[in-house]
Structures are given as C-alpha cells and as structure tokens.
Amino acid sequence: MTVVTAGGGDDVVKSTRWWWWELVVLGVWMLAMLVLFLSYTSNLMSLLAIRYSPMPIQSLEDIVASPVTAFLPAGSFILEAFVTAENGPMKEVADLQHKGRLELVLGRDFMTKLDSQVRRGDHVLFASGLTLRIFMAQDFSLKGKCYFYLAKEEFLPLTTAIAGPKGSPLIPFLSRRIMRIIEAGLFDYWTKLLTPNFTSCLNPPTKVAVRSSIGINNIWGTLVVLAGGSVTSILVFGLELLDSRLLQ
C-alpha cells in the first residue's frame, strides 16, 4: 500500500507495507462483525414485530412425552375409556397416574382448574369438545384474549342422543326431527347464539404481530457490543503506543 501526501511544497512518498496475516485478520474481523450485526438486527426486528405462540400438545403421544399433568373428568365415560384400554396411547396416558401426572377432577371444577393450573401451561384437561369450547368462549369474554387451544387430535368420538322407552312410536319421529336439525346446522347455530365468542379461540394464530416501542431491554445487546468494542479499541491503541515507544 502506498500513501502519497503533499506538504511544504515538496512531494513526499511514504511506503507502508502490510503483512499477509494482517490482511487476513482484518478480513476475518470485518466478516465476523458483519455476520454479528446482521444476525442481531434481524433477531431484534423479528422479536419486536412477531411473537410466536407455541402449541406443543396436539396428541396423546405429546402428553406422554411432555412433563405436563393431565386432568380427567371423574366418573365419566372418558375416564372409563382410558382405564379399560389395554394398549396404545390411551393406556400410556392412564399409566401416568403411577407417575403422579394424572388427576381426577369433577365437572364443576373444570373452570377453576382451567383458570388456576391449565393457564400456566403445565396441565391439560380432557373433556368433550363442546364443553371445552364453551369454557374457552367464557374465558375469552372475561379476559379478552385466547389463553387456551384445542388439540388437533380427537381421541374419542362422542354421540349425543335423547333416550326414550324401548319400542316407543315416538323414537323414529324424534330421530328424524333431530337429524333434520343437525343437517340444517341449527344445533351449531343455537350453540353459537347462546355462547358469545364461541368461535373466537377455535383457530388461534401461531404468529401474532406486535407493535411496541423499543426500550433499553430490547437494545442492551447493542450497547454491550458498543462498550466492548470501544474498550477493546482503546486497549489496542494503548498497546500500539507502548510498542512504538519500546521499538524506539
């Protein structure tokens, strides 16, 4: 590298030689700073712009593999289905009782368990889909936000019926009427009409856009890098001065 300067009316040419290892160190340093800068800025922008809502429990296998505790309704056909299972995921869930990860809860305590323990993320609740949707809608009406989600896997089908005397001539008539009501969508319509916000939390987004101002907690990493770089540059500058004096 050659630096040409002018002064005092005479041209002075000063030659400065760079060693190859100095160029390598400079290039690696610049590349490392570029990578760190781009990585930090992209992570900071994504953190401020998008918030992810994890939904790890989607099946019975996920419950067994994770450290969560399961709530089963006491005295229900759901509990009986798990207890009488001889193999498969339902049997594995039932065996969690021996590990202290399975508790029985009464139906009147569902809302209390949801509010106190399931909300923390370390418990799950088994119940019929309609019951859970109603509880989620009620919680959304109170909190204004979806704190719960339904697993994608439906492990046990539920059939709702109206019981009548065996051989009664009213049974075929009622069956046809009930079928027409279900096919026309009146059952779902009445449920949504009687339960405000019934569909608000059925499909919660996994990515939520967030608008918030940047505070010191968001940019502390930048300040640390700036302070560290300044201290390092001052130390290197002092070492260069000391080295030049020792050489003289």
The 3-state secondary structure of the chain reads CEEEEEECCEEEEEECCCCHHHHHHHHHHHHHHHHHHHHHHHHHHHHHHEEECCCCCCCHHHHHHCCCEEEEECCCHHHHHHHCCCCCHHHHHHHHHHHCCEEEECHHHHHHHHHHCHHHCCEEECCCHHHHHHHHHHHHHHHCCCCCCCCCCCCCCCCCCCCCCCCCCHHHHHHHHHHHHHHCCHHHHHHHHHCCCCCCCCCCCCEEECCCCCCHHHHHHHHHHHHHHHHHHHHHHHHHHHHHHHHC
Residue with tokens 């508790």: 103
Single-letter residue type at 21: W
Q: How far apart are CA 88 and CA 81, in angstroms?
A: 12
Same domain, 83 and 131: yes
Same domain, 58 and 147: yes
pTM of the model: 0.58
Q: In the chain, how many domains are there?
A: 3
Which residues touch 36 (CB under 8 Å, ≥6 apart)?
225
Q: How confident is the model at residue 101 (pLDDT cuts 50, 70, 90)?
A: very high
Same domain, 200 and 94: yes
Same domain, 141 and 27: no
- What range does the domain containing 5 cover? 1-50
Same domain, 199 and 94: yes
Q: Which residues pair with 15 in a beta bridge?
A: 2
Same domain, 29 and 78: no
Same domain, 65 and 112: yes
pLDDT given for residue 3 in this prediction: 38
- Quick one: which of 132, 121, 128 has its CA closest to 66? 121
> Do residues 175 and 150 make contact, with C-beta atoms less than 8 angstroms apart?
no
239, part of any domain: yes
Q: From 50, 69, 90, give the residue that closes a domain.
A: 50
Q: How confident is the model at residue 223 (pLDDT cuts 50, 70, 90)?
A: confident
Q: How far apart are CA 75 and CA 105, in angstroms?
A: 9
pLDDT in tens, 180-216: 888 898 888 888 888 888 888 887 766 655 555 666 7
- The enclosing domain of 112 has a CATH number of 3.40.190
Same domain, 237 and 136: no
Same domain, 42 and 151: no
pLDDT in tens, 50-77: 666 778 888 889 999 989 999 999 888 8
Same domain, 74 and 94: yes
